[in-house]
Chain A
Amino acid sequence: QKEVEQNSGPLSVPEGAIASLNCTYSDRVSQSFFWYRQYSGKSPELIMSIYSNGDKEDGRFTAQLNKASQYVSLLIRDSQPSDSATYLCAVTRGNNFNKFYFGSGTKLNVKP
């Protein structure tokens, strides 16, 4: 079983819609969770971090964490064509906060 699982997509949404990206992880004691955006041919760029159960909002982005169900999600409101990218979920395992485990990413296409 992979540490972090993501649907590879592509996920297609129309401009202005809400995009919902999901990630599940295997280590029940994972404590730190991150969403990175990666444009084709570019390096990952941090979007959100979340450490506690519940929702965390930053502009059009909301991260949701449910440790009991071992999933973390990212909602993008009012999706724009410029949001089209691959979204990577990363988690840490146990008390090792420096080793990030990444999912394979979900490709998002926002259609104008």
Chain B
Amino acid sequence: GAGVSQTPSNKVTEKGKYVELRCDPISGHTALYWYRQSLGQGPEFLIYFQGTGAADDSGLPNDRFFAVRPEGSVSTLKIQRTERGDSAVYLCASSSWGGLAEQETQYFGPGTRLLVL
């Protein structure tokens, strides 16, 4: 596709429920990132995939958060037992690994606005 796409664009759920957020990266991009952005803050790193494997999941806040990328393309961020504090915009980004690691540039999708009531 032309850019990173994310679905749904908005998700309202109740405290304690399970949610899945989907990201479809730019075609050919091998690296995929998940961020969370709260109001008035910059994006906060959650997890990074290189291909199918999670290369860095140090930003996941706790074990309620999990992400997968089984075929090295689409990724799903899964949140169990949602809490009101999980309400935020969840952003996905991808990059292409052009050869110079220090010059990797991340391109963001439109985000999923999650509201936990």
Interface residues of A (CB under 8 A from B): 4, 8, 31-32, 34, 36, 42-46, 49, 51, 88, 90, 92, 96-105
Using Cβ atoms and an 8 Å threshold, which residues of chain B touch A104?
40-42
Does B7 make an interface contact (CB < 8 A)?
no
> Interface size for chain B: under 10, 10 to 19, 20 to 34, or 35 or more residues?
20 to 34
Does B102 make an interface contact (CB < 8 A)?
yes
Closest residue to A105 on the B side, CB-wise?
B42
Using Cβ atoms and an 8 Å threshold, which residues of chain B touch A49?
103, 105
Does B111 make an interface contact (CB < 8 A)?
yes
Interface string of B80-101 (1 = CB under 8 A from A): 0000000000010001000001
Q: How far is the CB of A1 from chain B (nearest CB, A)?
A: 15
Q: How far is the CB of A98 from chain B (nearest CB, A)?
A: 5
Q: How far is the CB of A44 from chain B (nearest CB, A)?
A: 5
Q: Is B48 a contact of A99 with CB atoms below 8 Å?
A: yes
Tell me which of A4, A34, A43, A97 contacts B91 (CB under 8 A): A43
20 A-B pairs with CB atoms under 8 Å apart are A8-B40, A31-B102, A34-B105, A43-B91, A44-B91, A45-B108, A46-B106, A49-B103, A88-B43, A96-B56, A98-B33, A98-B50, A98-B55, A99-B56, A99-B58, A99-B59, A100-B35, A100-B45, A100-B106, A102-B42
